[in-house]
């Protein structure tokens, strides 16, 4: 859906076809492309390539030449050099502005102008310094207004992404908010159930409130897999490598390592649950009228590479009294896939949720 510019204007005019989904983070590039075979699909390529520290910082391109080199040399998990041209790439959640707008129906004949008017009051940058796009959301039972999800990004940041992609030989068909791709991978558009999707990654955690299959609110915090590892390293006095091993093998299991690892993670876990409760309260207090009959969120969906932390789902469920699940990012496409198994193991699949959602833009 991104952005309100030359990128989306010509991309939207093209028929859908398979694209390479490129998920950028500070430490890696994850990618996947599906092939269509009539009604079925298969994975054409999938991979995860590390980036040197400092190439990207908090989602911003700091060393474009090194990023271009990495993009030119992407190799899939089976060692093949990636030769795709058409891509849909992610934009960093923490750099975007997302706002739910309520537009009176009297203004919807000129919705574009109405959104532009609201833009100036909700985005703290001059209009000439941003790109924006918006989506009209499904609104049940309201005849006096429409709900519009506004997305905006600094022009300089978007231009830097387009520049490195172009220099690397790619044609960017669209750039999207990470949460847009995550929701596309996990949630059917026809699913009206309100839910909180939590993307727990290596460097940050994103919260996405979803109802009627659409995003209504997002936020990002610094709690992350790296923070878990640093707490283990600090409290147990072990190396960074050993801390990572303990995070993976022990996690929140109080029966292992005399409960020391779980104790080290207690602080970040408590902070995470407090943030979850704030989002549940936000839904109840501010957006419940957009969520249909449900007055509370009764499902939390975990994804992201560090959502596999042992015991995380059950600990959150006990702490916030809400049902917690981990959804397979390949779950929506498995019925169409030639293989009955995802292309990567279950404990790795959640790393690819954003990339899967980006790639699905071309075929769903």
Q: Is the pLDDT of residue 348 over 70?
A: yes
Task: Pick the range with the lowest mean pLDDT from 141-150, 194-203, 319-328.
Answer: 141-150
φ, ψ dihedrals at 83, nearest 5°: -120, 20
Task: Pick the range with the lowest mean pLDDT from 25-29, 35-39, 276-280.
Answer: 35-39
Q: Is the pLDDT of residue 342 over 50?
A: yes
Cα distance between residue 297 and residue 270, in whole Å: 20
**pLDDT tens for residues 53-86?**
999 999 999 999 999 999 999 999 999 999 999 9
Nearest Cα residue to 172 out of 163, 184, 181: 163
Q: For residue 136, what pLDDT is reported?
A: 86
Mean pLDDT of the chain: 89
Q: What is the arithmetic mean of pLDDT over 263-277?
A: 98
Please indicate whether the domains covering 1-92+155-187+332-364 and 189-327 agree at the CATH topology level: yes
Q: Return the number of other C-beta atoms located less than 10 Å from residue 26's C-beta.
A: 20
Q: For residue 112, what pLDDT is reported?
A: 84
Q: pLDDT class for 227, splitting at 50, 70, 90?
A: very high
Q: For residue 137, what pLDDT is reported?
A: 80
pTM: 0.91
Q: For residue 13, what pLDDT is reported?
A: 41
Instruction: Report which DSSP code applies to 230.
Output: H
Q: For residue 14, what pLDDT is reported?
A: 44
Sign of CA dihedral 334, 211, 217, 297: negative
Q: Give the residue extent of every domain in the chain.
A: 1-92+155-187+332-364, 189-327
Percent of the chain with pLDDT over 70: 90
Q: Is the pLDDT of residue 1 over 50?
A: no
Q: For residue 8, what pLDDT is reported?
A: 46
Q: Return the number of other C-beta atoms located less than 10 Å from residue 247's C-beta.
A: 24
- Write down the residue that tokens 């049902």 correspond to: 323
Distance of CA 240 to the CA centre of its chain: 27
Instruction: Please give the class, per CATH, of domain 1-92+155-187+332-364.
Output: alpha beta
State the architecture of 189-327 in CATH terms.
Answer: 2-Layer Sandwich (3.30)
What tokens does 106 get?
A: 């009297």
């Amino acid at each position: 859906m991104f952005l309100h510019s030359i990128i989306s204007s010509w991309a939207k005019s093209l028929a859908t076809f398979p694209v390479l989904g490129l998920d950028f983070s500070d430490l890696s590039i994850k990618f996947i492309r599906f092939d269509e075979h009539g009604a079925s699909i298969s994975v054409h390529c999938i991979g995860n390539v590390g980036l040197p520290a400092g190439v990207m910082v908090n989602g911003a391109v700091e060393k474009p030449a090194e990023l271009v080199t990495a993009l030119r040399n992407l190799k899939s998990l089976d060692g093949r050099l990636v030769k795709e041209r058409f891509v849909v790439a992610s934009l960093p959640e923490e750099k975007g502005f997302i706002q739910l707008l309520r537009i009176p129906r009297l203004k919807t004949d000129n919705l574009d102008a109405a959104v532009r008017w609201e833009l100036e009051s909700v985005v703290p940058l001059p209009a000439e310094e941003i790109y924006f796009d918006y989506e009209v959301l499904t609104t049940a039972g309201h005849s006096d207004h429409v709900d519009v999800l506004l997305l905006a990004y600094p022009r300089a940041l978007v231009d830097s992404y387009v520049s490195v992609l172009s220099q690397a030989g790619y044609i960017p068909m669209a750039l999207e908010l990470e949460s847009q791709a995550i929701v596309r991978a996990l949630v059917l558009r026809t699913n009206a159930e309100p839910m909180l999707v939590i993307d727990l990654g290596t460097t940050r955690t994103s919260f996405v409130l979803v109802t009627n299959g659409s995003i209504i609110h997002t936020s990002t915090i610094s709690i992350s897999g790296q923070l878990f590892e640093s707490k283990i390293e600090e409290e147990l006095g072990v190396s960074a490598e050993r801390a990572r091993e303990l995070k993976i093998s022990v996690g929140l299991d109080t029966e292992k390592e005399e409960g020391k690892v779980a104790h080290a993670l207690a602080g970040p876990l408590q902070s995470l649950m407090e943030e979850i409760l704030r989002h549940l309260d936000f839904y109840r207090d501010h957006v419940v009228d957009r969520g249909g009959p449900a007055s509370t969120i009764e499902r939390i969906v975990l994804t992201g590479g560090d959502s596999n932390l042992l015991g995380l789902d059950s600990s959150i469920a006990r702490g916030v009294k809400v049902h917690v699940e981990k959804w397979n990012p390949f779950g929506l496409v498995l019925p169409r896939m030639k293989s009955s198994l995802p292309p990567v193991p279950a404990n790795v699949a959640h790393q690819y949720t954003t990339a899967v959602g980006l790639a699905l833009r071309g075929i769903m």
